[in-house]
Amino acid sequence: MTLANVEQIVKERYRNGAHCQVAELCCPIDYDPKYLEIIPEEVLARDYGCGDPSRYVRPGETVLDLGSGTGKICFIAAQVVGVEGRVIETDHFRLHTTLQSRRMLNRLPAFYEEKRDHFCKLLEGSRFRFKPAPSTFFQILDYGNIRDELDLTLAKRWTREIGVASIPLSVFCEAPFTGSRLRFCFAKDDATLEDAAQRLCAL
């Protein structure tokens, strides 16, 4: 048997395993169940385990997964690194990467809706007026009950004084803008959102 034959046999073995699970391909291990809840069953059904490198991942890090399979570790690592981190994956078999990309994209709208709803819930006791914003990463808050100040001036001052950054709507307007609204990005990890909301609620 030549080296080329061995390589072809291995490729065929793992290609077949990408389409239907072959128990003998690897030794499965246990994962933290809290990270498995959002992973599609289609991904879990084709996963083989092979260790859990995600236990070494920390929030905010960048993870590169070479030979990611169906992407279970990528799903887990993405939850650990949070929105401040990144997960990059690649796999030899297109079925794996296509499956993972499609499932991840389908999950994104619900993921950011949960972030928005969490942020809005935290602000319910504040003096801001707002409605949950659709189809965006930014929540608009009306500060008219708190300050009588230009949005650009207030955005700069709150960034310095309370450590919460926002985007004034006036910078998008050609004509003079006289409203009392600021945009706050909620594409952050929960700890950051909770800290920001606590500071905003104290205003």
For the chain, what are the domain ranges?
12-107, 123-201
> What gap in Å lies between CA 145 and CA 128, rounded to an integer?
7
Which residue has better confidence, 72 or 3?
72
Tell me the CB-side half-sphere exposure of residue 109, using CA atoms within 13 A. Answer: 4
pLDDT at position 88 = 86
pLDDT at position 79 = 87
* Mean per-residue pLDDT, 102-122: 82
* Mean per-residue pLDDT, 45-56: 74
CATH number of 123-201: 3.90.1150.10
The per-residue pLDDT of the chain, averaged, comes to 82
**For residue 10, what are its two tokens?**
């291995």
Given pLDDT bands bounded at 50, 70 and 90, which one contains residue 98?
low
pLDDT at position 154 = 96
* Mean per-residue pLDDT, 166-177: 88
> What gap in Å lies between CA 163 and CA 173, rounded to an integer?
25
pLDDT at position 29 = 73
pLDDT at position 175 = 81
pLDDT at position 122 = 97
Amino acid residing at 98: T
pLDDT at position 16 = 63
CATH topology of domain 12-107: Rossmann fold (3.40.50)
pLDDT at position 147 = 94
pLDDT at 4 over 70: no
pLDDT at position 149 = 94
pTM over 0.75: no
Torsion sign across C-alpha atoms 145, 147, 151, 154: negative
Q: Which of 80-84, 104-108, 141-145 has the highest mean pLDDT?
A: 141-145
